[in-house]
Amino acid sequence: MKLKATFLVLLLCACTFGKTFGQADPGCGGMMFSKTAFSYQESGTLEVVIGNYSGGFKSGANLTAYDATFTVILPYVLKVSGEIDFSRCPFPLTIVSQMMNALGSTIITFTVPKGINKGVNGTISIPVTAYKADASILYASVRTDANLSYPPSGNLLYTNDQLSIPVFVNAALPVTLSSFKVTKENDLATLNWTSTSEKNSERFEIERSTDGKSWKQIGTVASLENSTEKADYDFIDAKPEQGINYYRLKMIDQDQTFAYSGIRNITLDPIELNIFPNPVANILNIRTGNWDKVRTIQLVNINGEAVYSTKGKAEKTVDVSNLTQGTYLVKIEHTDGAIVNRRIRVQR
């Protein structure tokens, strides 16, 4: 029984492919939004290439009038915001229907009143506007639908003939920032930011990272909630990490939705250090911003041997008159374990 069924399928396919047919193809040359991430109320376009893909087959044929139907589906966060542009389509297209389904998606169906010659493609451009926000990744799609021709729309398996692309819409920010900066003041980091508009805003959470990936909340500043006036804010990070510190603001709305600001950074050197003269003949001077944070000072030769090391309190000068000429490494260890290296040359 299985053998007979298999034979009938093969016979049907052989008969079908023995005939000429057109192949209506959605997205045959691509489907693309002008941007994959829209902001709330931002406008853009969706471009879809459709056509008759059968030009590359010996059995290819022209699609006759109304022998192809294309359906474009927009996710519920987008709506059509103007006239659809057919100027880059070399064949006429007619909108059969344009409606919204129960999920809020917009469904647009096109047909070709004069058919499509084999191997011919065209581009339609649909203007869209983001009128709802959803941080989830949604999809727009285009497909070829069945009609009265056989095979359906010129395709043997029309239900597989579909293309989708992702898009998402950022939520409207509760706060409009006009500026955000971070400055270094001695061992402190000062954050300053200015808002020009706030709507149902609750607070700012200040976050810090040393690698730009893992973030830690280090403070909170209350917002004005609702304002159309310029408002200035500041926050001091009294204990920034040594090295690079990244900062961002988490702007939280009263319903606990949130958005992030851009990222700013500063770099704190473990030790502010000035060593002179270099090259040096006899006395090497060491200047640093805070000697209380210096644990040890060492001079290391090219063999990795310590030829000088402080005992107890670090000295501000080092006598190198008894060292042989050559290159040395000045190694200064901070009380928190951070180490700064400077290269000097002893020369007489």
pLDDT at 201 over 60: yes
What is the tens place of the pLDDT at every residue in 88-101? 999 999 999 999 99
Q: Tell me how crowded residue 346 is: count the other CB atoms within 10 A of its CB.
A: 21
pLDDT at 173: 63
pLDDT, tens only, 297-326 = 899 998 889 999 987 676 788 999 999 999
Output the pLDDT for position 128.
94
Alpha-carbon distance of 22 to 54, in angstroms, equals 5
Q: Which of 78-82, 178-182, 276-280, 315-319 has the lowest mean pLDDT?
A: 315-319
* Res 156 pLDDT > 90: no
Strands 121-130 and 43-52: antiparallel
What single letter denotes the amino acid at residue 342? Answer: R
Q: What is the mean pLDDT of residues 216-237?
A: 91
Closest by CA to 263, choosing from 188, 211, 219, is: 211
Mean pLDDT estimate for the chain: 80
Instruction: Give 158's pLDDT tier (boundaries 50, 70, 90).
Output: very low
Report all structural domains of the chain as residue ranges with CATH numbers, in order of start: 25-149+158-169 (2.60.40.1510), 176-268 (2.60.40.10), 273-346 (2.60.40.10)
Closest CA to 241 of 169, 184, 314: 184
CA distance 216 to 206: 8
pLDDT for residue 155: 53
pLDDT score of 13: 38
Q: How many whole angstroms separate alpha carbon 344 and alpha carbon 330?
A: 7
